[in-house]
Amino acid sequence: MKRIDDILIPHYHYERADKISVQDILSWEVKAVAVDIDNTICYDATTKFIGDCEKWISNVKQSGIPIVILSNATTGRANRVAKKTGLRCISMANKPATDGFFKIAEMLDLKVEEIAFIGDQVFSDVKGANTAGGVSVLVDPAKTELSFYFFYKYRRMKEKPVRRLIAELEKQTGVPHKVKEVVKK
Ligand SMILES: [Mg+2]
């Protein structure tokens, strides 16, 4: 089997963003959270929330944990989701490029390693967060993407062996949702 790069392995894995409790976030020892939009809090290419994600966002906010949006979505749509949730937002982030991750840190006046980045894509959300030095949290995509159909079909195919390894590692840690140790700088 081809070796899977550690940069693709998240620190934590959850089925869905709204399954992440405030207690879980506190256990990650971060000071803030940045969430992706497409297939993480909203169905792909829409502004329609997945499950209880809208309520989940307001619960996180109420707990006092700062939460913002980091998305590759177009500015118009990302801003609509930001407005609905009352969250600050960086759109067209071009993840896995690390610029957006550092912009979020600047926005929050924190170090990137003090922020958990939640997203559904191994090759953009996890890779970018890990490269930047943040805490990476992978969720399962809510639905098959119909936008950029072939791009995503290929990308999700490439994710398969990585997600298999993630599931194995998660079992090995013996801690629910924990895939690997966060190495503090
Ligand atoms: Mg996404």
Q: Distance, CA 77 to ligand 1 centroid (Å)? A: 13
Reported as type and span, the H/E element at residue 106 is helix 99-108
Q: Report strand pairing: 12-14 vs 135-139.
A: parallel
For position 149, which CATH number holds?
3.40.50.1000
Domain annotation covers residue 44 = yes
Domain annotation covers residue 162 = yes
Q: How does pLDDT run across 62-81, given as a tens digit for each residue?
A: 999 999 999 999 999 999 99
Number of domains observed in the structure of the chain? 1
Pairwise CA distance, residues 112 & 106, whole Å: 8
Pairwise CA distance, residues 76 & 65, whole Å: 26
The DSSP annotation for 149-174 comes to HHHHHHHHHHHHHHHHHHHHHHHHH-
Q: Distance, CA 172 to ligand 1 centroid (Å)? A: 27
pLDDT at 98 over 60: yes
Q: Across all residues in the chain, what is the average pLDDT?
A: 96
Q: Distance, CA 118 to ligand 1 centroid (Å)? A: 9
pTM: 0.96
Residue 150 vs residue 25, higher pLDDT: 25
Residue 43 confidence (pLDDT): 95
pLDDT at 2 over 90: no
Q: Distance, CA 182 to ligand 1 centroid (Å)? A: 22
Q: Distance, CA 126 to ligand 1 centroid (Å)? A: 11
Q: Distance, CA 169 to ligand 1 centroid (Å)? A: 22
Residue 62 confidence (pLDDT): 97
Q: Distance, CA 176 to ligand 1 centroid (Å)? A: 23
pLDDT band at 88 (very low <50, low <70, confident <90, very high): very high
CA angle 28, 32, 36 (to 5 degrees): 95
Q: Distance, CA 29 to ligand 1 centroid (Å)? A: 24
Q: Distance, CA 175 to ligand 1 centroid (Å)? A: 25
Q: Distance, CA 122 to ligand 1 centroid (Å)? A: 9
Q: Distance, CA 37 to ligand 1 centroid (Å)? A: 6
Residue 126 confidence (pLDDT): 98
Q: How does pLDDT run across 145-166, given as a tens digit for each residue?
A: 888 888 889 899 999 999 999 9
Residue 11 DSSP SS3: coil
pLDDT at 1 over 80: no
Residue 143 confidence (pLDDT): 85
User: Residue 37 sits in which domain range?
Assistant: 6-173
Tally Cβ neighbours within 10 Å of residue 24: 16
- Taking residues 91-119, what's their average pLDDT? 98
Domain annotation covers residue 48 = yes
Q: Distance, CA 119 to ligand 1 centroid (Å)? A: 6
Percentage of residues in the chain having pLDDT higher than 90 = 90
Q: Report strand pairing: 115-119 vs 89-90.
A: unpaired
Q: Distance, CA 145 to ligand 1 centroid (Å)? A: 10
Domain annotation covers residue 179 = no
82, 101 in Cβ contact below 8 A?
no
Domain annotation covers residue 62 = yes
